[in-house]
């Protein structure tokens, strides 16, 4: 059964990691996809690949989610193409670990622009397209670190905790418009971003997971599929941990 | 053909006669922030446009709304 047929969906940061797995799964389920990222060639390649493999409709939507004017133009372009939007997956994000005493102002600004401001920018425009269509679903990628915190990740954790605050508030603000807003809080997931932390820390993290395995991007994509589909039509304002029982 | 004034009257649930160019945001109880977003949705649907957030914030009177809508129709 295809769960996302006739749904117009934009996935930010769709070329790698969780964004890529989510895009693939959504394409498999018949979504009309708008693939977002900053590398137009990579987006075109992905779009062609998904179209060939799953026969769904794919579109390239190249803009930087951390730049307000680019987000505005991106969503206005999407409006001209399709008039309605059903699902927004706010996935794009960066990880830049450092102890608080060694974090530059530039790192803080960059992390918040990419991880947090982008969610507010995209949600602001997306909800307006959803309201016109009678509802929708906004899915924000938070993190277990945004819930529990972690040494050496104060900036990243703060940027992700802010996403949870935005999720809870937006879910209340937009419920009357039939727009559901939920967050997924992944644990330790096997992506380029996770592997960038170094071998020793990587093994420590795996050891802290009750299920004793690193999560897969597919595990997150499966939850995103549930939240994007009508299976979750009465679910809003939730932060769903997908972490294999990880302890921090 | 529906006019901008008609859209204001319907969205704010007020008599058409009360919709004048100098009617301003939050001057009446019916035009609060929630109604403002309903009004924006109705205007966008009617004119098939998507406004900038700055214009939504700037739409502080009926006269201002007319000026902003004209910009999108050019």
Q: What does A11-76 look like in DSSP terms, one character per residue?
A: ETTTTSHHHHHHHHHHHHTT-EEEEEES-HHHHHHHHHHHHHHH---EEEEE--TTSHHHHHHHHH
Size of interface A-B (CB pairs under 8 A): 18
Mean pLDDT computed over every residue of chain B: 96
Exposed / middle / buried, residue A115 (Cβ in 10 Å: 0-12, 13-18, 19+): buried
* A43, two tokens: 């987006």
Q: Please tell me if residue A188 touches chain B, with a CB cutoff of 8 Å.
A: no
Which domains, ranges and CATH numbers included, belong to chain B?
A: 4-72 (1.10.1200.10)
Q: Work out the percent of chain A whose per-residue pLDDT is above 70.
A: 100
pLDDT for A195 equals 81
**Cβ <8 Å between B44 and A132:** yes
The four Cα atoms A109, A113, A117, A123 give a dihedral, to 10 degrees, of 180
pLDDT for A4 equals 98
Query: pTM of the predicted model, to two decimals?
Result: 0.95
B11 contact residues in A (CB cutoff 8 A): none
- The closest alpha carbon to A38, from A88, A87, A74, A79, belongs to A74
Q: Please tell me if residue A131 touches chain B, with a CB cutoff of 8 Å.
A: yes
In angstroms, the CA A84 to CA A136 distance is 10
In angstroms, the CA B47 to CA B41 distance is 10
Per-residue model confidence as pLDDT tens digits over A79-124: 999 999 999 999 999 998 899 999 999 999 999 999 999 999 999 9
Please state whether B9 falls in left (phi above 0), alpha (psi between -120 and 50) or beta: alpha
Looking at the complex, report in whole angstroms how far the Cα of residue A95 sits from the nearest Cα belonging to chain B.
29
Q: Please tell me if residue A129 touches chain B, with a CB cutoff of 8 Å.
A: yes
- The closest alpha carbon to A179, from A170, A188, A187, A189, belongs to A170
> Over 80: is that where the pLDDT of A201 sits?
yes
- The closest alpha carbon to A40, from A58, A15, A65, A68, belongs to A15
Residues sharing a CB contact under 8 Å with residue A245, sequence separation 6 or more, in sequence order:
A209, A210, A211
Strands (E), A77-195: 87-90, 136-141, 179-186
Q: Please tell me if residue A72 touches chain B, with a CB cutoff of 8 Å.
A: yes
B44 contact residues in A (CB cutoff 8 A): 128, 132
Q: Please tell me if residue A124 touches chain B, with a CB cutoff of 8 Å.
A: yes
A125 tagged catalytic: no
Q: Which of B40, B50, B53 to mutate to test the interface with A (most CBs of A within 10 A)?
A: B50
Residues sharing a CB contact under 8 Å with residue A10, sequence separation 6 or more, in sequence order:
A33, A34, A36, A61, A78, A85, A87, A88, A89, A122, A126
**B-chain residue closest to A69, CA distance:** B52
In angstroms, the CA A140 to CA B31 distance is 31
Per-residue model confidence as pLDDT tens digits over A61-76: 999 999 999 999 999 9
Q: Work out the percent of chain B whose per-residue pLDDT is above 70.
A: 100
pLDDT for A9 equals 98
Q: Please pick, among A156, A202, A226, A234, the residue that the annotation labels catalytic.
A: A156
**A-chain residue closest to B52, CA distance:** A72
In angstroms, the CA A30 to CA A8 distance is 10
**Cβ <8 Å between A75 and B50:** yes
Under an 8 Å CB criterion, which residues of B touch A? 37, 40-41, 44-45, 50, 52-53
Check if the beta carbon of residue A127 is closer than 8 Å to that of residue A174: yes
- SS3 (DSSP) at A152: coil
B41 contact residues in A (CB cutoff 8 A): 128, 131-132
pLDDT for A138 equals 98
CA separation, residue A61 to residues A14, A23, B37 (Å): 10, 13, 26
B45 contact residues in A (CB cutoff 8 A): 132
**Cβ <8 Å between B40 and A128:** yes
pLDDT for B74 equals 83
Mean pLDDT of A26-53: 98
Check if the beta carbon of residue A108 is closer than 8 Å to that of residue A91: no
> Over 90: is that where the pLDDT of B1 sits?
no
Which domains, ranges and CATH numbers included, belong to chain A?
A: 8-233 (3.40.50.720)
Counts for chain A of helices (H) and strands (E), in that order: 10, 7
């Amino acid at each position: 059964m295809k769960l996302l047929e006739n749904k117009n969906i934009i996935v930010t940061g769709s070329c790698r990691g969780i964004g890529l797995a989510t895009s693939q799964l959504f394409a498999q389920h018949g979504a009309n996809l708008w693939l977002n990222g900053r590398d137009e060639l990579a987006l075109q390649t992905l779009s062609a690949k998904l179209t060939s493999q799953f026969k769904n409709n794919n579109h390239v939507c190249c803009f930087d989610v951390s730049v307000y004017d680019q987000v505005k133009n991106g969503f206005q372009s999407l409006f001209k193409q399709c008039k309605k939007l059903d699902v927004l997956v706010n996935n794009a994000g960066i990880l830049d670990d450092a102890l608080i005493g060694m974090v530059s102002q530039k790192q803080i600004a960059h992390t918040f622009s990419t991880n947090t401001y982008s969610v507010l920018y995209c949600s602001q425009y997306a909800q307006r397209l959803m309201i016109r269509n009678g509802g929708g679903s906004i899915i924000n990628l938070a993190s277990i670190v945004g819930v529990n915190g972690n040494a050496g990740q104060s900036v990243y954790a703060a940027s992700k905790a802010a996403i949870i605050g935005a999720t809870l508030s937006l879910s209340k603000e937009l419920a009357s418009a039939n727009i559901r807003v939920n967050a997924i809080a992944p644990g330790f997931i096997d992506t380029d971003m996770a592997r960038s932390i170094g071998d020793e820390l990587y093994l420590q993290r795996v050891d802290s997971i009750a299920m004793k395995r690193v999560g897969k991007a597919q595990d997150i994509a499966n939850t995103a599929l549930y939240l994007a589909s009508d299976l979750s039509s009465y679910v809003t304002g939730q932060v769903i941990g997908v972490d294999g029982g990880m302890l921090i | 053909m529906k006019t901008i004034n008609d859209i204001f009257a319907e969205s704010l649930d007020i008599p058409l006669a009360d919709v004048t160019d100098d009617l301003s945001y939050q001057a009446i109880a019916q035009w609060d922030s929630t109604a403002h977003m309903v009004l924006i949705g109705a205007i966008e649907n009617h004119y098939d446009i998507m406004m900038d957030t700055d214009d939504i914030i700037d739409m502080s009177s009926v006269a201002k709304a007319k000026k902003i809508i004209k910009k999108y129709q050019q």
